[in-house]
Chains A and B, each alone.
Chain A
Amino acid sequence: EVQLVESGGGLVQPGGSLRLSCAASGFTFSSYGMTWVRQVPGKGLEWVSAISDYGTTTHYADSVKGRFSISRDNSKNTLSLQVDSLRVEDTAIYYCAKNRYGSGSYVDYWGQGTLVTVSA
């Protein structure tokens, strides 16, 4: 059974940083691209970032480019998202997601999300 468990969310001040993590199990982690999607509570889904199976290719939404950094450790089956220079508008639930194929694929499994709140 595919499981994706996010951690690392919390309350942070504007300009602060967090490192979100996602522990993956139930599939061969190194064979699939991975994605982060966020959602402001009560609002729609926003694609944030994706990474290829071996981490050689990364992609970002314009809204986070230069501030967020996606990475993965295939030896530990872990996906990460370093979020820096946080803004109030980055407040959202951040979902870790497994892609069906590479970095540019649709998502076939989702974690339950971790809430990031950016507030003074």
Chain B
Amino acid sequence: DIQMTQSPYTLSASLGDRVTITCRASQSIGSWLAWYQQKPGKAPNLLIYKASTLQSGVPSRFSGSGSGTEFTLTISNLQPDDDFATYYCQQYNNFPLTFGGGTRVEIK
């Protein structure tokens, strides 16, 4: 199985900050990576697929990059209410599909 490792586990940031979350795969997955945002008590929401393609309706302050085994999600200009949440990466290159452990972005 492909292991997905996210870092950091928790990230403290202020409004307007630019933050980066890293996701590493235990073997190459090409660009078959998605990012999701989840707020407390809610279902996850798709942000990015194919490593860098923004899902329709997602603000352009979210961006993704990477290929192979290393990927990043960058959030520019952190916004209140919208961006303080937990973020998950997921590989869909091989079954079983696997998620990273999540990164919680909290207000400093």
Contacts and interface: CB of A to CB of B under 8 A. Distances in A.
Interface of A: 35, 37, 44-47, 50, 59-62, 95, 100, 104-113
B3 interface: no
Interface string B24-62: 000000000010101000111110010000010000000
Given A44-B101, A45-B102, A106 B49 contact: yes
Contacts of B44: 37, 45, 95, 107, 110
Q: How large is the interface on B (under 10, 10 to 19, 20 to 34, 35 or more residues)?
A: 20 to 34
Interface of B is mostly: loop
Interface stretch (B13-21, B64-72, B75-83, B89-97): B89-97
B71 to A, nearest CB: 13
B26 to A, nearest CB: 15
A104 B88 contact: no
Contact of A106 (B34, B42, B100): B34
Contact of B99 (A46, A62, A100, A112): A46
B97 A50 contact: yes
A76 to B, nearest CB: 22
Contact of B43 (A44, A61, A113): A113
Contacts, number: 57
Contacts of B99: 37, 44-47
A104 B96 contact: no
Contact of A110 (B43, B55, B92, B95): B43
Nearest to A95: B43
Contacts of A61: 96
Contacts of A47: 90, 96-99
B65 to A, nearest CB: 17
A111 B96 contact: no
A38 to B, nearest CB: 11
